[in-house]
Amino acid sequence: MYNDYIYFNMKKLFLLGGGLLLAVLGRSANYQPMSCEGKMPEHMVRLLGEEKLSDDERTVQSLFRSGRVLYGTPVNAYIDSIANILYKANPNSEHEKINIYLYKSPEANAFMCPDGSLFMNLGMVAQATSEAELALVLAHEIAHFDKKHGSSANKKDLKKAKSVAEYALKKTMRDREKELEADSYAITEFYKKTNYSYEAVPGLFDLLQYSYLPFDEEAFERSFVETADYKFPDEYFTSKLNPIVSREDYVDTLDTHPNLKKRRQNADDLVKNLSDEGRTEFLLTEAAFDRARFLARKESVCLLLKNHDFGEAFYNTYVMMADNKDDADLQTFAAQALYGVAKYKADGDITDVVPDYKKTEGESGAAYYFLRKLKKKEVAVLALRFAWKAQKVNPDLAPITKSLMAMVRNYSLSTSDFCDFAMGTSVADAQKKVDALLGTGKPVAENASKASGNVKPASNETKKPDAKQASKRKSKRNIPTAKASGGETAAAPEKRRDSKYDNIRQKQIREKYVLPDSSFTVLNYMLVDMKADSAFVNMLSSTAKSDEKKDVEDALDELTNNVNKKAFEGGKVLLVTLYYGDGKSLARKDRQMQDNLIKWGHKYDIDFVCYEQLVKNNPNTKNYNFYILLKNLQYENIAGSDKGLVNLKNPVLDSLLKKEGITKMLDLRVADMTKRKFKMHGVMAGVAVPYALPAVVAGGFIRLRGLVASAALTDLDTGDTDNKAVLKASKYNTQPRLHQFLYQFLSNVKKGE
């Protein structure tokens, strides 16, 4: 079967070590990704549990097993309510066979499978502008079911599919005539029989035509990334944006769907001259639509983050924050997006995660222009600013904040590199402010105005003089003393003279302030307000120290190539597997591998828990939600492993693991690829030695299997890797070698070898 992880290269698949802490990774605790609710539909129970299925049913099964299908959520309930309006308008007993699901994809699409499984992408809900548009989408897909429209997909197209969703979408493609027929049937047999507004009909085709654009068009304001303390250079921003020029009259000769102009004209002909009196775009409530769309948009941004589409995630979050600037989830998303940009910028791979502004239409181009113009140090500090602010409303963001602090330190930056005064402040004005803070008229130490590299680092214990305490000390010195004998008042003591130690302390305090310098750039002014936050300074300092220690430990580990292997002491082990390749029956091989590990584990008293197997053997909402969490985390882990991206704690998953008594995790990944034996140097050798040529030619028809497997056992409480191993094999049949490797690995786990 096709696998959603096919996008990731081999390097990402088999990086081991710190990136394997799936049990403590995930999304923000403030925002939990949508999960299924209520009882699992009987239709889904049957397909997940059975093996003998038709080809069409197996396609739907693969969608379920992808871990991206949702049912029972508030958004599902909203979509079901719209569908019920359509069913009442056109009663048909066949509609009872239709099961509507949401699919976790940011793309604006929907498709109907022959068995009545209707999948609507979250991206479709996120992009819609009215309830009526969603009703038209549903009516169109139901029309395919009512009219028994078959697929026009060919095998070549299906083989090119890179994911389960793409395969299913290609499998449900119909020809242009059937698409026009579905549009007509949807309008005449469903839409007209409801009270939905005819004015919304053109909106559906606008939605489809411009679905490649972000949620909305919002001018990118520089105030979103600047403060009164610092301003980026004007050249970081552009007003030269590409106009939106999406065509609806494209050539559709080779497409299954007719172009949008033909579909729009067909729909317009069906509703023109019809009265819109008494009709509305919202038969439910507009508030219900807004709520469903808001949830779908949040989930879509999460999916963009998971797919490392950080530029798009950043701009879409910016659009949503226009009306929800204090939303904790959105603040977290913005920080995560900038964090991803900073990580990729550090490696010079920014083009992988931020779209090319030269090819971007509309307002989002300005945001992408800005992100690409930022220097790597600047984006790291900007991301740190966003993360620190978001962490105040979402404490679980701390791992990302610490990771960004480590990045800043790795760029040889410390608090002494950041000015304590706003950009544009003169040295003289800064000196006056320091004098005012110290409460003296003494000049600022001369070396305090030197370049940042010569300024002494700030201490963790830096505190501004406490005016209240100073006042108390002063008042105590001015209290009249007891009268001397004879009724005479004792003379007040002379004012205490400053000692050399006072002068030293004054000088130290002055040197802790970093004054403006002519060599400073915007980077040096980006933490003015943050430096006034002692919690921020303390965390930055402590992170730097702990990371330095970790660097030494990592270096020693790399030199010795040693893992502190521990003998298995019992307990349940979470089994997470990924079988990837270009051959057939990959899903079957994955299940066989799981079955073997569970069986062999019994011999060594290792109790494996595999939720993929539990979903198959006991399909229910609890098991499926756990399975979704694990699939999502594995996906994120593979995507971020080669960049060292840190994900966030997921307390829901932590709680489930503890409740089930699961203490360890075995992360197993296998890549099974085809390799041809035929090589050019063999041909050359065959030409030089004619009698060897037949053997060389015959070798061109022989396919070898190249197999790479990695296994790592991780302690979920400590995050330590207890054992790990890698296998590389290349034979005509690699399965026996894989079995031997896995059996030996379990033996080593038990013995701690």
pLDDT given at position 50: 87
Q: Is residue 741 part of a domain?
A: yes
Does 158 or 429 have the greater pLDDT score? 429
pLDDT given at position 440: 53
Structure tokens at 285: 């409530």
pLDDT given at position 639: 61
pLDDT beyond 80 at 195: yes
Of 159-163, 252-256, 416-420, 698-702, least confident by mean pLDDT is 252-256
pLDDT given at position 672: 79
Can you tell me the distance from the alpha carbon of 175 to that of 179, in angstroms, rounded to the nearest whole number? 7
pLDDT given at position 443: 41
Q: Which alpha helices (DSSP H) does 451-585 contain, by range?
A: 467-477, 500-511, 528-531, 534-560
SS3 644: coil
Does 160 or 474 have the greater pLDDT score? 160
pLDDT given at position 456: 37
Q: Are 431 and 525 in contact (CB under 8 A)?
A: no
pLDDT given at position 643: 62
pLDDT given at position 732: 61
CATH code (residue 624) = 3.40.50
Q: Are 79 and 138 in contact (CB under 8 A)?
A: yes
Of 16-30, 334-348, 503-517, 544-558, least confident by mean pLDDT is 16-30
Q: Is residue 125 part of a domain?
A: yes
Q: Is residue 426 part of a domain?
A: no
Contacts of 490 (CB under 8 A, 6+ apart): 481, 482, 483, 484
Q: Is residue 398 part of a domain?
A: no
Q: Is residue 485 part of a domain?
A: no
Can you tell me the distance from the alpha carbon of 90 to that of 81, in angstroms, rounded to the nearest whole number? 15
Backbone angles phi and psi of 569, in degrees to 5: -110, 15
Q: Which of 125-129, 538-542, 584-588, 687-691 has the highest mean pLDDT?
A: 125-129
Q: Are 750 and 568 in contact (CB under 8 A)?
A: yes
pLDDT beyond 80 at 624: yes
Q: Is the dihedral of CA 130, 175, 148, 585 positive or negative?
A: negative
pLDDT given at position 302: 93
pLDDT tens-place string over residues 626-683: 888 888 777 766 665 556 677 666 777 778 888 888 888 888 888 877 655 545 555 5
Q: Is the dihedral of CA 138, 140, 146, 151 positive or negative?
A: negative
Of 79-93, 340-354, 500-514, least confident by mean pLDDT is 500-514
Q: Which residue has the tokens 């949830």?
A: 295
Chain mean pLDDT for the chain: 79
pLDDT given at position 423: 96
pLDDT given at position 76: 97
Does 478 or 538 have the greater pLDDT score? 538
What average pLDDT does range 75-86 have in this prediction? 97
Of 55-59, 72-76, 96-100, 308-312, least confident by mean pLDDT is 55-59
Q: Is the dihedral of CA 149, 150, 151, 154 positive or negative?
A: negative
Backbone angles phi and psi of 703, in degrees to 5: -105, 125
CA-based max dimension of the chain: 132
Query: Angle of helix 164-171 relative to helix 55-65, nearest 10 degrees?
Result: 150
Of 468-472, 515-519, 603-607, least confident by mean pLDDT is 468-472
What average pLDDT does range 347-360 have in this prediction? 92
Residue-wise DSSP of 365-401: HHHHHHHHHS-HHHHHHHHHHHHHHHHTT-GGGHHHH
pLDDT beyond 90 at 78: yes
Can you tell me the distance from the alpha carbon of 398 to that of 545, in angstroms, rounded to the nearest whole number? 16
Can you tell me the distance from the alpha carbon of 379 to that of 335, in angstroms, rounded to the nearest whole number? 11
- Assign 15 a pLDDT band (cuts: 50, 70, 90): very low
Other CB atoms within 10 A of residue 510 CB: 22
Boundary (domain end) residue, out of 240, 271, 290: 290
pLDDT tens-place string over residues 693-737: 565 555 555 556 678 888 888 888 777 778 888 888 876 677 888
Q: Which of 96-110, 527-541, 555-569 has the highest mean pLDDT?
A: 96-110
Of 107-116, 143-152, 268-277, 439-448, least confident by mean pLDDT is 439-448
Of 293-307, 323-337, 462-476, 496-510, least confident by mean pLDDT is 462-476
Q: Is residue 237 part of a domain?
A: no
- Assign 475 a pLDDT band (cuts: 50, 70, 90): very low
Q: How far is CA 681 from the centre of its chain?
A: 45
Boundary (domain end) residue, out of 246, 271, 290: 290
Does 115 or 171 have the greater pLDDT score? 115
Does 435 or 182 have the greater pLDDT score? 182
- Assign 179 a pLDDT band (cuts: 50, 70, 90): confident
Q: Is residue 135 part of a domain?
A: yes
610-634: b (≥16 Cβ within 10 Å) or e: bbbbbbbeebebebbbbbbbbbbbb
SS3 156: helix
Does 30 or 529 have the greater pLDDT score? 529
For residue 699, the enclosing domain spans 572-751
Contacts of 238 (CB under 8 A, 6+ apart): 357, 365, 366, 369
Sheet containing strand 607-609, strands side by side: 607-609, 572-581, 662-676, 703-715, 721-731
pLDDT given at position 638: 64
Boundary (domain end) residue, out of 267, 290, 313: 290
What average pLDDT does range 408-419 have in this prediction? 91
Backbone angles phi and psi of 246, in degrees to 5: -55, 130
Q: Is residue 109 part of a domain?
A: yes
Contacts of 454 (CB under 8 A, 6+ apart): 447
Of 357-371, 385-399, 503-517, least confident by mean pLDDT is 503-517
pLDDT beyond 80 at 606: yes
Can you tell me the distance from the alpha carbon of 9 to that of 1, in angstroms, rounded to the nearest whole number? 18
Instruction: Give the total number of structural domains in the chain.
Output: 2
